[in-house]
Amino acid sequence: MDFDFTKEEKELIAEVRAFIDKEATPELLAETRQLGLIYGGPEGRKFIKKFASHGWLTPNWPKEYGGLGTSEMVTYLIREEMAYSGLPCIFVGAHMAGPAILRIGSPEMKKEFLTPLAKGEIEFALGYTEPQAGSDLVAMKVRADDQGDHFLVNGQKTFNTHCHVADYHWLAARTDPEAPKHKGISMMIVDLKSPGITIRPLITMAGWRTNEVYYDNVKVPKKNLVGEINKGFYYMMSALDFERMAPPGVYRNLFDEIVHYAKSTQAGGKPLSQNPLIRQKLAQMAIELDVARLLYYQLAYILDKGSIPNYQSSMEKLFVTELSQHITETGMEVLGLYGLLKEGSEWTPLAGKVEHFHRWSVVETIYAGTSEIQRSIIAQRGLGLPRQ
């Protein structure tokens, strides 16, 4: 069995690497890290527009909407390369909302949003979670009442990470309070500059910002309804499958730096790399990283076959995010007490990345559904076990 990429895919990724080497400025990398790997900041927007002009932001989209008409595998290769390079790799518009619009959006909606998304001109923010519901999305209470030519939206969302830098909200709201909980929800696109929207910051333990968002009699045109009314829960589940397809490149890069540190740092007159315990732990991480990459590229394979990965997305998200904790814990052990030092200290190894990502890795296992939610999905949909 041959797991290698094609000659054309290797040539393309070499071209992408050369572009990144030239255009990834220290200012862009610092902004990306401060924002939590999302894009929308001034440096990120400048970079993405140049990057997207090659068709690399949405290469698998049809050419009429700004894509290259290539395979999903090419998209996944590029995202992994961006993640490894420390660039924005979480794109709500291009990789979560955009694929849903391609499948269920009206012709007018596709015309209005897809090409600007493919060009990197606009970005979306997810609007699912509510303070009283958490991961239980059917318990959401934000209401969108039908007012004839528009919806009137009221309520509160929370942990909506992109909202302070995005242009549109990919909003789930209850449009039929009398229907069974999962049948009364609709998806709609909301201009975040609409009157009545208030966005307030919440700072995570990783140091980057997420948001709580308040809707107070916000008018949303009917044309911004995505797909059919009251079928939003099913659309949301599909978009969540795309959200969970996380490239492991960020942690592959951190692991490579930890390995280099172990080879180049002496302790007790010997390189750390000769310590048997450190060697065992690093070898174990290398194995798990290879598994993570195979799970990641399996998602592209399934998409290229015409299906949307479901429990497989949960398997990849669960494995990669828990692996991120294993890698940063290993990094802490390799660096010893130096691993506790933050970025900015003159004594901090690896520019404080281990300390930073150690806090970050806790957040990783919560967003897009906690690890407990992912295991429940795998049990029910993957193994056919009864619902609890």
d(C-alpha 7, C-alpha 4), whole Å: 9
Please, what sign has the CA dihedral across residues 59, 244, 97, 126?
A: negative
Q: Which entry of 243, 288, 355, 364 is annotated as an active-site residue?
A: 243
d(C-alpha 94, C-alpha 122), whole Å: 10
Q: Which residues, including other chains, have CB under 8 Å from residue 102's CB and lie 6 or more apart?
A: 61, 62, 65, 110, 114
d(C-alpha 388, C-alpha 385), whole Å: 9
Our answer to whether residue 64 is catalytic in this structure is no
d(C-alpha 246, C-alpha 237), whole Å: 16
* Greatest pairwise CA separation for the chain in angstroms: 77
Catalytic residue positions? 243
